[in-house]
Structure 1
Amino acid sequence: MPMGPLVCSETVSRVSSVLNRDAKQFGKKHLFDGSEETCWNSDQGSSQWVTLEFPQTVKVSQIQLQFQGGFASQLCTLEGCRKGDELVKIAEFYPEDIHALQIFRTEEATLDKLKITFENSTDFFGRVVVYRLGVLGEKL
């Protein structure tokens, strides 16, 4: 089966924080809206994260991220699990501090829940700004 986008309207997403709690302007919905003009902007903190709970079991093979330069994560940790299980570390990757879309291939992992933790932000205050988050793989 060909690789395709896994985030859909039934995917439940959560984020660690939103800048000034202004979800209308900087909320999680902007991670997936496909607009070049909107973004998720975290508040300050040492590590920020996004969790995704998929409506069905998926096999993840690629993560796509587009940060705002100066507000990127230098280290991302990927964790996942099946329903009812504890999160297990799947991979680490090291994005560049640039605005371009970056693609990270992962060892295929079968899961229902995915957590991406953004560690070591290039911003002095620990904020992360993500214009686009894509999760690609297969729906099982």
Structure 2
Amino acid sequence: MVISILPDARITVSSVLNRDVKQFGSKYLTDGDEETCWNSHQGSPQYICARLAAPRRPTELQLQFQGGFAGGDCWLEAGDAPDQLRRLHAFYPENVNRLQTFPVDCPEPVTHVKVVFNTSTDFFGRVVVYKFDLLADESPKTAADDPAT
């Protein structure tokens, strides 16, 4: 069974538009309200970091941007601490409003995940995200658990 691993995660972001966290802060990334969003300030790169409540092996990333303010050249990093993140893979979202999903190939459970938006479709480098979710199998698995390896 696949579940969201973000409900108990601590989410931080690179910036917030005009530092207005009451209207555009990181708490709106996972609140489930399609009317609220995280809106970054201008400049590249922008990022979202998640410190997970328990080690998990992410399998899917979900993002919903505002068209015109989507991430361009993006990648996912993961590890056991903020200073131990390693780049897993790049992904290239479309500049659309609909929910987009990206597979995540994470070989082992991690406690820290970072999504980097190296560029943006906005001329000023702003990114607007209405939904951010990270999915994983219900029980964490390691490579040792997989009989195929």
Q: TM-score, normalised by structure 2?
A: 0.88
Q: Is the partner of 2:67 in helix, strand or coil?
A: coil
Alignment of 1:75-86 (within 5 A): 75-83=73-81, 86=84
Say how many residue pairs are matched. 138
Identify which of 10, 34, 47 aligns with 1:12. 10
- Aligned residue for 2:134? 135
Q: Give the Cα separation in 2 of the matches to 1:91 and 1:27.
A: 26
The answer on whether the counterparts of 2:88 and 2:106 sit within 8 Å (CA) in structure 1 is no
Which runs of at least 4 in structure 1 moved beyond 4 Å after TM superposition? Answer: none
Q: Structure 2 vs 1, CA of residues 5 and 20 (structure 1 numbering), >3 Å: closer, same or farther?
A: same
**Between the two proteins, what is the percent identity of the paired residues?**
45
Q: CA deviation at 1:91?
A: 1.1
Q: Structure 2 vs 1, CA of residues 3 and 46 (structure 1 numbering), >3 Å: closer, same or farther?
A: same
Q: Structure 2 vs 1, CA of residues 129 and 85 (structure 1 numbering), >3 Å: closer, same or farther?
A: closer
The residue type paired with residue 63 of structure 1 is L
Q: Give the Cα separation in 2 of the matches to 1:108 and 1:52.
A: 15
Q: CA deviation at 1:108?
A: 3.1
Q: Is the partner of 2:63 in helix, strand or coil?
A: strand
Q: CA deviation at 1:46?
A: 1.4
Alignment of 1:1-140 (within 5 A): 2-9=1-8, 11-83=9-81, 86-109=84-107, 110-138=109-137, 139-140=139-140
- Give CA-to-partner distance per residue, 1:88-114, whole Å, 9 cap, x none: 011110000000000001113421100
Q: Give the Cα separation in 2 of the matches to 1:28 and 1:58.
A: 21
The residue type paired with residue 30 of structure 2 is F
The answer on whether the counterparts of 2:82 and 2:112 sit within 8 Å (CA) in structure 1 is no
5+ residue gaps, structure 2, are 141-149
Q: Is the partner of 1:73 in helix, strand or coil?
A: coil
- Give CA-to-partner distance per residue, 1:6-39, whole Å, 9 cap, x none: 0023x11110000000001000000001111000
Q: Is the partner of 1:120 in helix, strand or coil?
A: coil
- State which structure, 1 or 2, has the greater radius of gyration over its C-alpha atoms: 2
